[in-house]
Amino acid sequence: MQAILRPAIVLFAVLTLICGVLYPAAVTGIAQAAFPAAANGSLVEKDGQVVGSSLIGQQFTAPGYFWGRPSATGPMPNNGGGSGGSNQGPLNPALQEAVKGRIAALRAADPDNTAPVPVDLVSASGSGLDPEISLAAAQYQAARVARARGLSQERVNALVEQHTQLRALGLFGEPRVNALALNLDLDKEAKVATVAKTGHTR
């Protein structure tokens, strides 16, 4: 029995050291050296404070911000610990009512906008955490954001263009915009305008 147990215990200890300590440490070290931002959660900071992640959406409801995709995670929207979709089919009455409510909220925030509402502004993603909206969704909201912030629509459109990520390799996916990054730049724009107008920050 001792002849059988001893090599088994040694093998267990060696594999634990390799697979449980050395390999994770090596992968973590390489990730921290090569991709430090991604390895630490792709965190986004504002004035030295972490305000979110570029990989996880946030809920914006004020008219001066670009709204992201709806989220079906519980118990709160964009809950990283509860990632998942609603799994409701297109004929589900609950989904139809939810979409109607989202369309009504968008129309109420911008009554003069009669353009068709982009589908990603009224439908949740499969993960419930999508941080990006389509370029069409950003363009749909640009006039409302410009009006609410007292900016020209040309300036807001320029910011949207700066934040537009094109198709990967020119083929895969669709042009998209990270809503959090765009909204943070809008806040910077407002701060610059305040300094230029008053001569001090707030």
Question: Taking residues 172-189, what's their average pLDDT?
Answer: 94
Taking alpha carbons only, the member of 23, 113, 125 closest to residue 105 is 113
3-state SS assignment for residue 132: strand
60, 67 in Cβ contact below 8 A?
yes
What whole-number distance in Å separates Cα of residue 185 and Cα of residue 179? 10
54, 41 in Cβ contact below 8 A?
no
pLDDT category at 19 given cuts 50, 70, 90 is very high
What whole-number distance in Å separates Cα of residue 83 and Cα of residue 73? 6
32, 39 in Cβ contact below 8 A?
yes
Element housing 177 (H / E): strand 176-178
Give the tokens for residue 189.
Answer: 């724009």
pLDDT score, position 192? 58
Question: Taking residues 39-59, what's their average pLDDT?
Answer: 90
How does pLDDT run across 110-159, given as a tens digit for each residue?
Answer: 999 999 999 999 999 999 999 999 999 999 999 999 999 999 999 999 99
pLDDT score, position 193? 54
pLDDT score, position 199? 47
CA atoms within 13 A on the CB side of 101: 7
- Residue ranges per domain, the chain? 1-40, 44-198
The size of the chain, in residues, is 202
Q: Is the pLDDT of residue 16 over 80?
A: yes
135, 177 in Cβ contact below 8 A?
yes
pLDDT category at 201 given cuts 50, 70, 90 is very low
Give the tokens for residue 97.
Answer: 């009512």
